[in-house]
Amino acid sequence: MKKISLIATLLLAVLLLQKCTKTTVTATATSTTTLFAYVNDSTWNADTINAAVTYNSATKSKVFSVNAVGNNKEVNFSVTQPLGSNTAGFPLSSFNADAAGTNTFSYYTKQKDATGNYIFVQQGAVAPGSGNVTVTAVDSVKKLITGTFALTSLKNNYDNSGNIVSVTVVQVASGAFNAMPYTFTSN
């Protein structure tokens, strides 16, 4: 009798387990912000953006440049596609900061100058390999571009004798631009 009870219980358990179904939930995060990043672990959103793709007929190259300003911070980057074509698109590729100056990155903050006016002042420099842009989608008809960017800017701080006393590091990480409008110019 115990064997029959045990077998019945096991069969019932198997039947119940087969009726269990796994529910999978997928979450997708989206942003309506056109350009954003984390600056030293704080979210930064640009409220003024100027983006352009410029074709240079003399060098047969294209330059994708962005100037983004928001919350007293400014991020700039400019990347070059050598041997580009005279079209409104831009290649889906990654571009790293380089020593030649063909791919440049900079970070500015707003500060008061000697006359009391607020101006943007560059905060250090982005060394070769310390900045990158990856273009992931381009709609050359609507002139919209999507991708990611990041940079690290270092600024040496000196004492009165000219000795380095500290280094200020600005980390712009997980930056993204989503369907960002751009202009196209051919010269």
In angstroms, the Cα distances linking 27 to 20, 30, 38, 85, 148 are: 23, 10, 22, 39, 21
Domain span at residue 91 reads 33-186
Both tokens assigned to 101: 């100056």
In a domain, 162, yes or no: yes
Instruction: List all residues 6 or more positions away from 4 whose beta carbon is below 8 Å from its beta carbon.
Output: none
- Give the pLDDT confidence of 36-63 residue by residue, as tens digits: 999 999 999 999 999 999 999 999 999 9
Question: Model-level pTM?
Answer: 0.80
In a domain, 2, yes or no: no
Q: How far apart are CA 49 and CA 180, in angstroms?
A: 9
Tell how strand 42-45 and strand 35-39 pair up. antiparallel
Answer yes or no: is pLDDT of 3 > 60.
Answer: no
pLDDT on residue 34 = 94
Answer yes or no: is pLDDT of 22 > 50.
Answer: no
Average pLDDT of span 16-26: 47
Please give the residue that has the higher pLDDT: either 27 or 143.
Answer: 143
Instruction: List all residues 6 or more positions away from 127 whose beta carbon is below 8 Å from its beta carbon.
Output: 97, 152, 154
In a domain, 3, yes or no: no
* Confidence category of residue 33, pLDDT binned at 50, 70, 90: confident
Domain count across the chain: 1
Work out the mean pLDDT of the chain and round it to a whole number. Answer: 88
In a domain, 108, yes or no: yes
In a domain, 41, yes or no: yes
Answer yes or no: is pLDDT of 31 > 70.
Answer: no
In a domain, 89, yes or no: yes
Q: How far apart are CA 132 and CA 152, in angstroms?
A: 10
Average pLDDT of span 115-137: 96
